[in-house]
Amino acid sequence: MYVKLKINGIETTVPKGGTILAAAKAASVYIPTLCHDPRVAPTGACRLCVVEDRRRPGQLIPSCFTPARDGMDIVTDSPVVTAAIREQLKLILINHPLDCPVCDKAGECVLQELVIRYGIVEAPYTLEAPFRPVDRESPLIERDMTRCVLCGRCVRICAELQGKGELEFMRRGYGTYVDTDGSRALDCDFCGLCISACPVGALTDKLFKNTTRPWKLERRETACLHCGLDCRIYLNMEGEILRRVTAPPDKDGAEELLCVRGRFGWRAAAGAVRRPPGPWLRDARGRRDATWEEALDFASRRLAEIAGERGGGAVAVLTADLLTTEEAAVARGFFRTFLGSHDIASLQAAGYRRLMDQLDRMLPSPPPPASQEDLLAADVLLVLGGGAAEWHPVLKPLINRYRQGEGKELIVISSWPDYLFERATLPVAVAPGHLEGFMAELQAALEGREVASGLDASRRGIDVGRLARLVSLLQGQGEIAVLVVPDLYARGDARAALAASLHHRVQRILPLGGQFNSRGALSAGFASPRDFQDILADIEMGRIRSLYLIGEDPLEDFPDPQRVRAALSRLDLLICQAPYATTAAEAAHVFLPTVLPWEKEGSVLAVTGQRRHLRKVMTAPPGARGDGEILEELRRMMGDPPANLPGRVAAVGETGSSGSPAAPPPGSPAATAAGGRGFPEDRTSEANAVGAEAPSPAFPFLLVPVPSLFGDGLVSRQSPELAGLKGGLGVVMNNDDFAALNLKDRETVWVATPYGAAPARVRALARIRPGTALLLHAPGNPEGLSLLRSDVAAVPAAIGRKEAP
């Protein structure tokens, strides 16, 4: 259904329900706006978008929220309209300081442009300025409300899209201003959507503040590094200096969405302190800086020796998915085909790779790419596992957009109250440790199989009514899309199985938790059923003698760093190839500094399946080289493939036959399928049966490590801003538990588990199940990691003020 109308004499059409403003845009007619943001619902606060209908002269219509009607004959530039706009601008200027010379918005300020466009040179009205707060204390976002024009864009975008409602109108009438409750500093997601929405300089980016001017910036498009959604971003460069990150407009001209990592985490790539100037070696004489030739010569010689002596199977590889797809193909060729290594695993993307690997094996065809539009088009969105919006924070505004649709259902099955869980139309809470069991039973029940214990809802702490609704929605007519969310460290195998079992009824299955180019790495053939847990056991047993780290750090990204450190010290060769000198770099025999994706060219594949080609947008540090370049050089230096390799023959055979990911080496699948048999601690595999150990009197809480909004990945951790927002290890408890322990908000407490103890900052949340505590920001924190064990979704813990036992 379309509406036909005339704008300034131009015939145009707009879908029924569309506004006059939308019609004018379609007709390429300019209408001034200040409070209009296409991303949120219109409100008509600024009255600058007034137009006139020729059939009713003199009557001014706000075009941004008046629906177009058939036969309208709109004029946007009649003397009445222009005079009204000019008058309105003068009224707005009463309470807007003329501090453009020192305002960061100058040059991209909507009000400034309008004042110039309409030639307002005099300020005829003067009134005493009302009270307006100025907040320079909040991190990252500065609020100078004296500049505010009360358009309400920040208030609406924060509530509607980010779902936080951090900013609100205070007081009434002439005294109105925008502030947080109680005029405190901001304590929100710091997504910066309010900054992107503010038409004037009332909300500004503190990192950008007083550094340059917008007209000096060149925008270079690339993809965000901080998660696998690969959001499009503009790097705002002044020469070769990165000044800020903004979102490009989407196809409708509205600015795209970004999260805190994308908007404020860019200093991880520009000016990070841990980027070393060149390679180094560590041998009997100690650590010394080396030239690239020396370092590569050493690495290639030692790799050839180890692969020659013990076979390619003695070399294992860990890759963070910062490689471009082309580089991933080079890496696969080098390690799988040339060296004959079986193990290419990942730490940060371990959960994602495992999900994809399982789906690959269980689905008749690979899961089709699910774009953001596909998700929005579904009627039922089923989220398996907690932490979807914490892995990928841009899902917050996307899911809020989804929820605005009519009759949309959001089902979240999670053991902790994550962001989506709290906004779900059907939240299904499962006790920590029971999630896997519940999903396995649910799958069996949906398939009509007998469940041994019945769907014993009460035992797992599940509301029976909700369960019935869940089943009826899953068996209903609505189109279903499934988001599968991995745990931080545990292998959540049942959720992939459940998703796969629904495939005939489900439009899209989207596994989450991927890193920058995780999907691209899988498409290049990195898939492997073995993860670092298996590799670690093999290192301890002496089967693996060499570990090649590409952007990964097992000392920072795997539970139990002491065990990892002991294992690493048994290696004959540890090569660390990474953009940053992290903890493992200090222990490595060879360190090779690499460039970041912004500093190289190549294609990436987002977890949504969207392929993008990225240009080089920043100059690389002088001492760093590309990952692909390094591996090709190593291969060239090694000459022939290392001879007499028992593993190599098999590897060539299996990879040569097809482009599909290599099958696991003989002997290993059985060991891995059992979920880490051969693991030194039997307790862990026992615990795996329920996913968590039971609390005991000494350790009354269940501690669940969860992903952080501010980024757990290696790149996110290099950003001083994101690290500052995290504020170290954090623990979130139920309100009653918190009160019973008589704790203060953000007080430092000791968290102890059977494996270790660490100080953490405590916060309370009402919706957490009593007896459960969430552990935040453990990745990258050795003390935090020492509390945990891999493959366990939750560990028993004690929390208290006292020193740890």
Partner 1 sequence: MGKALLKGLLLTLRHFFRKPETIPYPEVKRPVPERFRGRPVLLSGDDGQPLCVACGLCERVCPSLCIAVIPESGEDGVRRLGSYRLDLSRCSFCGFCVEACPVGAIRMGGDYELAVYRKEELIMDAEGLQRETVKRETGPGRG
β-strands 73-75, 50-53 pairing: antiparallel
Number of residues that bind partner 1 (CB under 8 A): 15
Which residues make Cβ contacts (< 8 Å) with residue 542, sequence separation at least 6? 570
Is 138 among the residues that bind partner 1 (CB under 8 A)?
no
Question: Pick from 54, 55, 209, 219: which binds partner 1 (CB under 8 A)?
Answer: 209
Which region, judged by CB under 8 A, interacts with partner 1, from 213-221, 356-364, 680-688, 773-781? 213-221
Closest CA to 797 of 780, 682, 784: 784
Q: Does 426 bind partner 1 (CB under 8 A)?
A: no
Residues 172 and 180: their CA atoms lie apart, in Å, by 15
Tokens of 384: 């398996």
Question: Cα–Cα distance between 738 and 736 in angstroms, integer?
Answer: 5
Does the footprint of partner 1 cover residue 185 (CB under 8 A)?
no
Q: Which is nearer to partner 1, 214 or 727 (CB)?
A: 214
Of these, 28, 59, 183, 211, which contacts partner 1 (CB under 8 A)?
211
CB-based burial, 293-312: b 16+ in 10 Å, e otherwise? eebbbbbbebbbebbbebbb
The CA-to-CA distance between both ends of the chain, in Å, stands at 70
354 near 495, Cβ under 8 Å? no
Judged by CB under 8 A, the residue of 213, 459, 615, 746 near partner 1 is: 213
Stretch that binds partner 1, among 84-92, 208-216, 284-292, 395-403 (CB under 8 A): 208-216
Can residue 122 be called a binding residue for partner 1 (CB under 8 A)? no
- Give 286's contacts (C-beta < 8 A, 6+ positions apart): none
In angstroms, what is the minimal distance from the CB of 105 to partner 1? Answer: 12
Site for partner 1 contains 136 (CB under 8 A): yes
What is the smallest separation between the CB atom of 101 and partner 1, expressed in angstroms?
3
Residues forming beta bridges with residue 60, ordered by sequence position: 52
Residue 141 or 624: which CB sits closer to partner 1? Answer: 141
Q: How far is the CB of 727 from partner 1 (least distance, A)?
A: 23
215 lies in the binding site for partner 1 (CB under 8 A): yes
| Beta strands 232-238 and 241-246, pairing class | antiparallel
Least Å distance between CB 515 and partner 1?
35
- How far apart CA 621 and CA 624 sit, in angstroms, is 6
Is 241 an interacting residue with respect to partner 1 (CB under 8 A)?
Answer: no
Q: Is 121 among the residues that bind partner 1 (CB under 8 A)?
A: no
Nearer to partner 1, 16 or 216 (CB): 216
Q: Is 142 one of the binding residues for partner 1 (CB under 8 A)?
A: yes
Q: Which of residues 89-108 bind partner 1 (CB under 8 A)?
A: 100-104, 106
**β 772-776/795-800 pair status:** unpaired
Q: Residue 326's closest CA among 603, 598, 596?
A: 603
Is 216 or 801 the residue whose CB approaches partner 1 more closely? 216
CA distance 444 to 455: 9
Q: How far is the CB of 104 from partner 1 (least distance, A)?
A: 7
Q: Is 436 exposed, middle or buried (0-12, 13-18, 19+ CB in 10 A)?
A: buried
Q: Which of 346, 298, 172 is nearest to 589 (CA)?
A: 298
Residue 212 in the binding site for partner 1 (CB under 8 A):
yes
Minimum distance, C-beta of residue 710 to partner 1, in the bound complex (Å): 24
Interaction between residue 16 and partner 1 (CB under 8 A):
no
127 lies in the site for partner 1, by CB under 8 A: no
- DSSP secondary structure letters along 81-108: HHHHHHHHHHHHHHTS---GGG-TTTTS
Residues of span 605-634 touching partner 1 by CB under 8 A: none
**Per CB under 8 A, which region of 205-213, 674-682, 730-738, 787-795 contacts partner 1?**
205-213
Among 58, 126, 210, 373, contact with partner 1 (rule: CB under 8 A): 210
Q: Return residues touching partner 1 (CB under 8 A).
A: 100-104, 106, 136, 142, 209-213, 215-216
